[in-house]
Amino acid sequence: MVSSGFYLIYKGDNFFDMKLLKDRGIILKTEKSGETSLKVRLFARDSGRILVTAKGARKPESPFFGLLTPFSVVDFEIAYSPYNPFLRSVSRMEYFPKINQDTEKIVYASMLLEIVDKTGMPHEDIETLRLLYKGLRGINTSISSPEKIHWWFIIHFLKNHGVWPNFETCTECQKPLTIAILLPDSGGLFCQDCAGNSQSHGLILSSELRRIIVFLENNPLEKISAIKINKQGAVTLTCWLWKLLSTHYESTTFLNTKKAVERLL
Ligand SMILES: [Zn+2]
């Protein structure tokens, strides 16, 4: 539940009702605002994705100073003015310090944040928030490689949003799939016979990679380090999952973090 209250603020000649809201969320990104402030993009339990201003947060004496860093889990209180919600208080619950100590971890964890940031409307999306938390915590504790965790995250993100295709049978003829061909226009998976002439612009997934995806789909994060895959297979799988994601969320076609990941591949 959103816990909220009201208080009056005096501005110029008018008093405005200000709504207070307490929530918990993960910081997705921050950017400088004005001389000393920060704009903070949060993904929160009750509010979904929101943008708030943290006034004076870049001043060393600010109570916010040093707390508003991406990946952090924070309890916070915001005051809603009509156009510009601003942060009133914040306490940091967790901040996954090991992510920032390793380039590969930063790159993949940043991609998780960017996917969440670019795919949501401002409403509650508690399953995605839980998924993001699990992914970041998994990267922080090295439960598996950041690359595998990012595959697992994309798969379960699409499942949560009801757009995960059937990996067992062909969309058209319902026969069991071995090689699966994604036709981006339909978002479905087809056998080679049904994909027909469309194969040329479809994305082919070998039977081995299809099995790995099914394993990722059906297992918790704790088990995915068991996956054995060679470098070429891993690159193909990454490109394939990115394509599937952008088929359903066009806004993820040009993620800023893709370039950083590509440098690692
Ligand atoms: Zn078929």
Q: How far is the CA of 160 from the centre of ligand 1 (A)?
A: 26
Q: How far is the CA of 227 from the centre of ligand 1 (A)?
A: 28
Q: How far is the CA of 192 from the centre of ligand 1 (A)?
A: 7
List the beta bridge partners of residue 91.
75
Q: How confident is the model at residue 249, as a pLDDT?
A: 92
The predicted model gives 5-28 an average pLDDT of: 68
Dihedral in degrees, nearest 10, Cα atoms 31, 34, 38, 39 = -70
Contacts of 155 (CB under 8 A, 6+ apart): 164, 213, 216, 217, 241
Q: How far is the CA of 184 from the centre of ligand 1 (A)?
A: 16
Six token digits for residue 82: 């009509």
Q: Could you tell me whether strands 48-54 and 180-183 are parallel, antiparallel, or unpaired per DSSP bridges?
A: unpaired
- Average pLDDT over the chain, rounded to an integer: 90
Instruction: Indicate whether this model's pTM tops 0.95.
Output: no
Write out pLDDT tens, residues 140-174: 999 999 999 999 999 999 999 999 999 999 999 99
Q: How far is the CA of 155 from the centre of ligand 1 (A)?
A: 23
Contacts of 167 (CB under 8 A, 6+ apart): 177, 180, 189, 210, 213, 214, 217
Q: How far is the CA of 183 from the centre of ligand 1 (A)?
A: 12
Write out pLDDT tens, residues 103-120: 999 999 999 999 999 997
Q: How confident is the model at residue 33, as a pLDDT?
A: 96
Domains of the chain: 3-94 (2.40.50.140), 99-264 (1.20.1440.120)
Q: How far is the CA of 32 from the centre of ligand 1 (A)?
A: 52
Q: How far is the CA of 195 from the centre of ligand 1 (A)?
A: 7
The predicted model gives 181-192 an average pLDDT of: 88
Q: Is the pLDDT confidence value at 56 over 90?
A: yes
Q: How far is the CA of 209 from the centre of ligand 1 (A)?
A: 18
Q: How far is the CA of 243 from the centre of ligand 1 (A)?
A: 21
Q: How far is the CA of 174 from the centre of ligand 1 (A)?
A: 6
C-alpha span between 128 and 125 (Å, rounded): 6
C-alpha span between 160 and 168 (Å, rounded): 18
Q: How far is the CA of 235 from the centre of ligand 1 (A)?
A: 26
